[in-house]
Structure 1
């Protein structure tokens, strides 16, 4: 690691499940952006929630849990339903389970097979949105979103922009996202995922200190995409324009598409690309597996709803249903 760090000018990461000790070694030789402190906080759900709560930012009510008796006490405190999550190493719905009754606690604790977890109150939300903030070493920022996110089986399915939120809710999400980025002292990219409650409040669900799946629509939907912005930010270059080209949408392509309707082969890309304005992005992964993110489709439209209809229609065409 030290040899690698001595040969580069700056280091960043694409996934937060990296040992924070590794970034500590690298930091002796060159800047790590975002810093190891950001990684240490955001790769652990309890540390992350505690950090934001200590800075007065809105988070879902939570409790740390290290045993079944503690879980039963936390359930009594937060109420049911509630969501039990592993404290670390969880993404795309992995490492979590819903507790629907007090008697369900033992089942949930046994299922997670962990020594440390976090119990969060279940939020009856209107929708889920995300905001992406790029921040350079000088404190310059560029913000994207909010994006409206729709999930299927805990995996992001479709993202649309604009999110169609009332102006006060949109402004609250943008402000909290900027405050979270500043509190963590992020240099690079931070994605903040929110629940929007039925009462119009925004609550931080989780964050990712890297380019995020929901921000993939910036590749075709904005002047400067999140990936270019990350490079600019970590290298200390001026941030690019975050101007949107207009309403846009993204639909994820999971490995399931390769196996849909028993086709068991390459999807019909030409069918999707016949639709005007549809862009296809594949990630170069060699093996398609159920639930594995293999690529995405994007499109612009006169409205977010129109753009969503285009990408959903294009995805249906891949399996001969469009």
Structure 2
């Protein structure tokens, strides 16, 4: 049962709600510590299911969730759009140290923003939107440009409408209102950079943070994470401090990824939270003393947290469906650019059955003497010009 802290020793079974690539990499890290894994996911032969036992069922299937509970000593989740009701049921019948409260909060943008503000951290000015009239009034009040977002379910740019002029409001409202979810309008922050900080917290209250990543998106999908982030030391220190405050105020167990906008003046605004391993933390797999995946396992099992120190400059680059063929061709030939630049690309492919356009199929961590060398390698390979 949730509520008590307890050490989950190696040899135990960890249940994972969700069978995607994050679950797969959690299982890889946990296997090395001696843990077994079982995952619940509707897709047969899911990425996590290839490295763990799998219960094939929908996330709202309570009987399947009970089977997961019976087979697990502790349960975690690998993405936040799992059914919060099922998570709450599991919390009452099993041991879910992350609980369902944080899941409930981060599944809804308005609840999330209020929680971030309660931690003393700034978010972009926002307003709840319930009608075209309220959208027009809020657009006037907040000012344009602004971003209309669904309160639930959006990711990788889905469920978002950038509004630059009043003429766009009615069409955006017509489309957005058909989603059947609550809506929120956010003032567009004129940011210089996007960064993220991943913090880990154990049930015992130990907190550790990873080096902030500088993130570059293409078509609203993360393309590059650059570490060390190219930001002032004062901004770096403040970002870490804010992530710790959020982790402690929200009573996080496991990982929390805090995505932030950095303005030209160095001000920080929280964009989103993710209570799980995060794409921008994949660089830690080779570039940190402890990976985000091992740290998450340590946290939910209440083991002492590992040292998150950065070992080397690194650039993580996502491999989408359209990049798979160029990546496979690159893997089959000698990489003279890597030798010349002194970089070491580390490939991670997720075992997904079909390489769909814009679908995340894997990532490459480019370990390098400098982030400039790693970025030069990414550019010279031509893989990401597709």
When normalised by structure 1's length, the TM-score is 0.93
Q: Is residue 2:269 matched to residue 1:269?
A: no
Point out the more displaced range, 82-91 or 113-122. 113-122
- Aligned runs of 1:207-218 on 2, under 5 Å? 207-218=273-284
Q: Which residue of 1 aligns with 2:34?
A: none
Once the 2 structures are TM-superposed, how far is the Cα of residue 7 of structure 1 from its aligned partner? 2.9
**1:80-95 maps to which residues of 2 (within 5 A)?**
80-95=144-159
CA deviation vs aligned residue, 1:52-92 (integer Å, no higher than 9, x gap): 12332111111111211111111111010000000000011
Aligned to 2:28: none
Question: What is residue 285 of structure 1 aligned with on the other side?
Answer: 352
2:211 touches 2:309 (CA, 8 Å); kept in 1?
A: no
Secondary structure of 1:12's counterpart equals strand
Question: Greater shift after overlay, 169-178 or 108-117?
Answer: 108-117
The equivalent residue for 2:211 is 145
Q: How far apart in 2 are the matches of 1:47 and 1:137?
A: 23
Whether 1:124 and 2:190 are equivalent positions in the alignment is: yes
- The CA distance in 2 between the partners of 1:78 and 1:192, in whole Å, is 24
The alignment partner of 1:145 has SS state of coil
* 3-state secondary structure, aligned to 2:67: helix
RMSD (Å) for aligned C-alpha atoms: 1.8
- Give the drift of 1:153: 0.3
Aligned to 2:292: 226
**Is residue 245 of structure 1 aligned with residue 311 of structure 2?**
yes
Partner of residue 105, structure 1: 169
* More divergent stretch after superposition (114-123 vs 302-311): 302-311
Choose which of 167, 185, 193 in structure 1 pairs with 2:259: 193
Deviation digits for residues 191-215 of structure 1 (CA, Å, limit 9, x no counterpart):
0000001111011000100110010
Could you give the per-residue CA deviations for residues 142-192 of structure 1, whole angstroms, max 9, x where no partner exists? 101210000100000011100021111111111111111111111000000
Contact 1:251 1:297 in 2 (8 A): yes
In structure 2, the CA distance between the partners of 1:220 and 1:312, relative to structure 1 (3 Å rule), is farther
Distance (Å, rounded) in 1 between the aligned partners of 2:270 and 2:246: 9
Does the residue aligned with 1:48 lie in a helix, a strand or coil? helix
- Answer whether contact 2:224 2:317 (CA < 8 A) is retained: yes
CA contact 2:322–2:356 (8 Å) conserved in 1: yes
1:54 maps to which residue? 118
For normalisation by structure 2, the TM-score amounts to 0.78
Contact 1:93 1:154 in 2 (8 A): yes
- What corresponds to 2:17 in structure 1? none
Alpha-carbon distance between aligned partners in 1 of 2:269 and 2:333, rounded to the nearest angstrom = 40
Question: Which runs of no fewer than 5 residues in structure 2 stay unpaired?
Answer: 1-64
Aligned length: 315
- SS of corresponding position for 1:278: strand
1:231, CA displacement in angstroms?
Answer: 0.6
| SS of aligned partner of 1:286 | coil
Q: CA deviation at 1:104?
A: 1.3
Structure 1's unaligned 5+ residue stretches are: none
* 1:306 aligned to which of 373, 378, 381: 373
1:35/1:98 Cα in 2 relative to 1: closer, same or farther (>3 Å)? same
Structure 1 stretches of at least 4 aligned residues deviating more than 3 Å after TM superposition: 265-268, 271-274, 311-314
Over 3 Å counting, the alpha-carbon distance change for 1:48 and 1:66 in structure 2 is: same
Deviations 1:280-308 (A, max 9, x none): 11000010011000011112222222222
Task: Verify the 8 A CA contact 2:323 2:383 in the aligned structure 1.
Answer: no
C-alpha separation between the residues in 1 aligned to 2:334 and 2:163? 40
* 1:37 aligned partner: 101
- 2:383 and 2:186 map into 1 onto residues whose CA distance is 39
